[in-house]
């Protein structure tokens, strides 16, 4: 290997591969393989191969010096303050402003109203900063489960995360929710116990809570020197050094030896750290069991391996407000969180029925990039892309897999706070923004050679609708602009027009989902909108076969109208993929074949609103068996009207029923509230289908009619002291009971009479 090391070209690659390489990024299998191939070719083909392989190290190193992280926490744990310090120490902002500071400037991250539903809000979805030659992208992580699609996409883009916990409040309800999401999307994470300067700060209590409530396999990698007002600095248990933070903003980090009075606790906590990590890391366990001395480098590598494998969560400490402990946390991000090559990302191959495909994540493959956030900028739509594989260059043609359109990349930028830096190309693992690309949030772009999507293209159907209209007529333009933008950002949000009332109808995944969009229209576009009562999307269907025979005849001077249709309607078999089927079984020319499409159109139109409550009729099959026509008076219109009237007249003979959307509701509540919650579900005519135990929580799954779920989030909060949470998704439409059907029909008739 010595000869190889002396060679000038692959020295960098060798450095990466050798055990003495920077401990921040252990070589991936790709690197080892790449190196092996390189070595053979290097000696075999000499200088010819050298030029060809020159390119390989550049992306290898830049990818290993890249981190994509999110910072999330319970409200008021100090997430904004921490992010402010991170930007300051990395040189991104030049002065620190407090969240509720006396200077009235406010933190950089709070460019929007504080009570907004976003977690960390920056002008951009991903801001990047540089720390010790490593590039760190900090990505906006939304908190709400209602925006399943948005949360999913934001967490897709992360490779690692920091979970901030308050040293006084401990593990709170939102911390549990955030942690559960990270676990669902398999994000490796570090924990940061903040606010050690506050009265009553107890990091060891919080650490035990993380073990019991979050089920984290965790241990501290730091010990604080003093607590509350005596909090002076930190001791690093891996490197065995004490850090103090001097200077007006804590920018000078001074490392010293461990104070004599703390040696005992440091030895105890370091042993605990080694024990906990060796439970999940075989290499360290071997050294630990053999009583070999464990060097800082060995321990650091073991912690890194365990963290990336999501078997261990290292705990950092500090006080962001008092400017202590932020720089070691940044070092921890570099040391313990994965670089893009170490995370396995999967794409769905659309040509093979959404089969999962593993992406190696190297710039050598075909381009695969995900548009995970849209923003209305000064220059039009700004689209944030996370490149998962391949390289995207300015001026390239890329294909939007979701729409099939081919687009040219006019301008490629890297966001730097609210300034933009133009770049020529971006490779796998990077996060960039493009201008002038018309797409929706969640679209996948490729170079056309593969048909992969990063998220499933099966968007769930909306389950709830609201009628909205702007209060003043003048704001109609802004109102429609807002609705168009939200539709592009969120595929589960739909906008339609009610043909009867002429109102704008917005549909979405639930009450909160629509409420927040109405609120955003008010905040971001300054348009006050009045909101109608929520409407559930009912459907109607028939339960038995009914014959029809209808003659439509109209004579009023000149050409009249004549059309007769005979046949039957019947329900489609359950589970049928189509909702409406039309079949022509006429033998001979009783009705000329050029009128058949008009008959089908008539039946389709009639099925758009059933006569029970005026909602669409589905799962029906219309078969036409006979009819009659007139040489002069028959026309397309006559047959269309004959079909509509035939459907309406014989519809009641087919015993129609109303179908309502049934939601699959998953509740997670502390066990002591289980009885109350289950009783309430039964009261709402829900059927409990599963009840599991998850630690101290009960997980209840139930099928509940959506019509009975209005205002449920408030009810659940009051039943469980704010500790319960629920998610619901559409399951199916199923028939309502007879009493509910009568009630709905009577309400519909009463509304009709009023109109």
Whether residue 76 is annotated as binding a ligand: the answer is yes
Going by C-alpha positions, the residue among 22, 16, 67 that lies closest to residue 333 is: 67
- How confident is the model at residue 314, as a pLDDT? 92
77 is in an annotated binding site: yes
State the burial class of residue 189 (Cβ atoms within 10 Å of its Cβ: 0-12, 13-18, 19+): buried
pLDDT digits (tens, 9 = 90+) for 337-358: 888 888 877 888 877 777 778 8
Does residue 502 fall inside a structural domain? yes
What pLDDT sits at residue 755? 66
Domain that includes residue 388, residue range: 345-454
Q: Are residues 531 and 544 in the same domain?
A: no
Cα 223 from Cα 229, distance rounded (Å): 16
Q: Are both 280 and 392 inside the same structural domain?
A: no
End-to-end CA distance of the chain: 88
Same structural domain, 699 and 641: no
User: Same domain for 507 and 599?
Assistant: no
390 annotated ligand binder: no
The CATH number of residue 525's host domain is: 3.30.70.870
- Asked if residue 640 belongs to a known ligand binding site, the reply is no
Q: Where are the beta strands (DSSP E) in 447-538?
A: 452-453, 464-470, 494-497, 504-508, 529-531, 535-536
Burial (CB count within 10 angstroms: exposed 0-12, middle 13-18, buried 19+), residue 349: middle
Mean pLDDT, consecutive 10-residue stretches, the chain (755 aa), reads 38 36 39 36 36 52 82 70 81 66 47 41 63 82 56 76 84 73 82 86 87 86 86 88 85 85 88 88 86 86 89 89 87 88 80 78 82 73 84 86 84 73 83 82 82 69 77 82 82 77 77 80 83 79 89 79 89 83 85 87 87 85 88 84 88 87 85 89 90 80 86 81 75 86 87 77
Claim to verify: residue 532 and residue 544 sit in the same structural domain: no
C-alpha to C-alpha distance for 266 and 227, rounded to whole angstroms = 15
108 is in an annotated binding site: no
Total domains in the chain come to: 5
Residue 150 belongs to some domain of the structure: yes
Does the annotation flag 195 for ligand binding?
Answer: yes
- Kindly state the tokens that stand for 410: 């006019």
- Please indicate if the annotation marks 141 as binding a ligand: yes
pLDDT for 21: 37
143 has binding-site annotation: yes
- pLDDT for the residue 200: 81
Domain finish residue from 502, 521, 536: 536
| Boundary residue ending a domain (476, 508, 536) | 536
In this structure, the answer to whether residues 258 and 141 fall within a common structural domain is: yes
**Residue 700 marked ligand-binding:** no
Same domain, 116 and 175: yes
Q: Is 140 exposed, middle or buried (0-12, 13-18, 19+ CB in 10 A)?
A: buried
CATH, residue 687: 3.30.70.240
Give the end of a domain, one of 319, 336, 353: 336
706 is in an annotated binding site: no
> Alpha-carbon distance 146 to 500, whole Å?
30
646 with 699, same domain: the answer is no
**Can you tell me the distance from the alpha carbon of 541 to that of 581, in angstroms, rounded to the nearest whole number?**
13
Q: Is residue 2 part of a domain?
A: no
User: Is residue 616 a known part of a binding site?
Assistant: no
- Asked if residue 1 belongs to a domain, the reply is no
Distance of alpha carbon 362 from alpha carbon 389, whole angstroms: 5
pLDDT digit string, tens, across residues 587-605 = 888 888 888 888 889 988 8
Strand boundaries in 58-173, DSSP class E? 66-73, 126-131, 134-139, 160-166
């Amino acid at each position: 290997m010595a000869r190889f090391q002396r060679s000038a070209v692959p020295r960098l690659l060798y450095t990466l591969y050798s055990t003495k390489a920077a401990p921040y990024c252990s070589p991936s299998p790709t690197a080892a393989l790449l190196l092996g191939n390189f070595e053979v070719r290097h000696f075999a083909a000499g200088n010819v191969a050298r030029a060809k392989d020159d390119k390989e190290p550049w992306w290898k190193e830049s990818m290993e010096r890249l981190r994509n992280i999110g910072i999330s926490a319970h409200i008021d744990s100090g997430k904004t303050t921490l992010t402010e310090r991170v930007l300051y120490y990395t040189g991104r902002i030049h002065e620190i402003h407090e969240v509720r500071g006396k200077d009235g400037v406010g933190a950089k991250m709070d460019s929007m109203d504080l009570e907004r539903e976003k977690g960390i809000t920056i002008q951009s979805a991903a801001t990047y900063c540089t720390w010790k030659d490593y590039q760190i992208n900090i990505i906006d992580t939304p908190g709400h489960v209602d925006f399943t699609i948005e949360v999913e996409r934001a967490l897709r883009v992360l490779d690692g995360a920091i979970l901030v916990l308050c040293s006084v409040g401990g593990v709170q309800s939102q911390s549990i929710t955030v942690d559960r999401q990270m676990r669902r999307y398999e994000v490796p994470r570090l924990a940061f116990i903040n606010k050690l300067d506050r009265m009553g700060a107890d990091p060891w209590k919080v650490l035990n809570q993380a073990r019991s409530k979050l089920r984290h396999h965790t241990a501290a990698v730091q010990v604080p020197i003093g607590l509350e007002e005596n909090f002076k600095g930190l001791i690093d248990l891996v490197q065995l050094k004490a850090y103090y933070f001097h200077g007006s903003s804590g920018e000078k980090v001074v490392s010293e030896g461990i104070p004599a009075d703390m040696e005992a606790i440091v030895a105890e906590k370091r042993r605990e750290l080694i024990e906990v990590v060796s439970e999940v890391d075989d290499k360290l366990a071997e050294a630990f069991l053999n009583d070999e001395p464990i060097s800082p480098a060995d321990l650091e590598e073991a912690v890194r391996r365990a963290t990336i494998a999501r078997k261990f969560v290292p705990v950092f400490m500090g006080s962001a407000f008092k400017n202590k402990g932020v720089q070691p946390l940044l070092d921890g991000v570099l040391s313990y969180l994965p670089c893009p090559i170490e995370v396995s990302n999967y794409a769905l191959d659309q040509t093979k029925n959404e089969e999962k495909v593993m992406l190696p994540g190297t710039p050598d493959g075909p381009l695969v990039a995900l548009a995970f956030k849209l923003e209305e900028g000064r220059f039009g739509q700004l689209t944030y892309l996370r490149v998962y594989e391949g390289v995207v260059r300015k001026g390239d043609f890329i294909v939007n897999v979701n729409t099939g359109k081919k687009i040219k990349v006019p301008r490629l930028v890297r966001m730097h706070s609210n300034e933009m830096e133009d770049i020529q190309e971006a490779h796998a693992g990077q996060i960039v923004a493009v201008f002038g690309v018309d797409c929706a949030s969640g679209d996948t772009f490729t170079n056309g050679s593969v048909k992969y999507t990063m998220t499933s293209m099966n968007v769930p159907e909306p389950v709830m609708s609201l009628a909205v209209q702007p209060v003043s007529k003048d704001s109609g333009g802004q109102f429609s602009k807002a609705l168009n933008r939200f539709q592009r950002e969120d595929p589960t949000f739909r906008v339609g027009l009610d043909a009867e009332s002429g109102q704008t109808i917005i549909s979405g995944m639930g009450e909160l989902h629509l409420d927040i969009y109405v609120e955003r229209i008010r905040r971001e576009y300054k348009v006050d909108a009045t909101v109608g009562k929520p409407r559930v999307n009912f459907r109607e269907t028939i339960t038995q076969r009914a014959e029809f025979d209808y003659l439509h005849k109209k004579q009023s001077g000149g050409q009249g109208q004549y059309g007769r249709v005979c046949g039957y309607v019947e329900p489609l078999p359950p589970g049928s993929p189509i909702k409406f089927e039309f079949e022509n079984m006429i033998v001979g020319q009783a009705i000329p074949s050029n009128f058949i499409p008009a008959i089908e159109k008539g039946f389709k139109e009639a099925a758009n609103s059933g006569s029970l409550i005026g909602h669409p009729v589905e799962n029906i099959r219309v078969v036409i068996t006979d009819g009659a026509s007139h040489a002069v008076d028959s026309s397309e219109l006559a047959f269309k009207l004959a079909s509509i009237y035939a459907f309406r007249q014989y519809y009641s003979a087919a015993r129609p029923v109303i179908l309502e959307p049934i939601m699959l509701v998953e509740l997670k509540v502390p066990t002591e509230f289980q009885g109350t919650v289950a009783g309430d579900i039964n009261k709402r005519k829900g059927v409990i289908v599963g009840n599991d135990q998850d630690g101290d929580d009960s997980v209840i799954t139930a099928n509940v009619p959506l019509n009975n779920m209005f205002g449920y989030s408030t009810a659940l909060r009051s039943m469980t002291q704010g500790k319960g949470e629920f998610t619901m998704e559409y399951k199916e439409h199923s028939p309502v009971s007879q009493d509910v059907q009568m009630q709905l029909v009577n309400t519909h008739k009463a509304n009709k009479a009023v109109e």
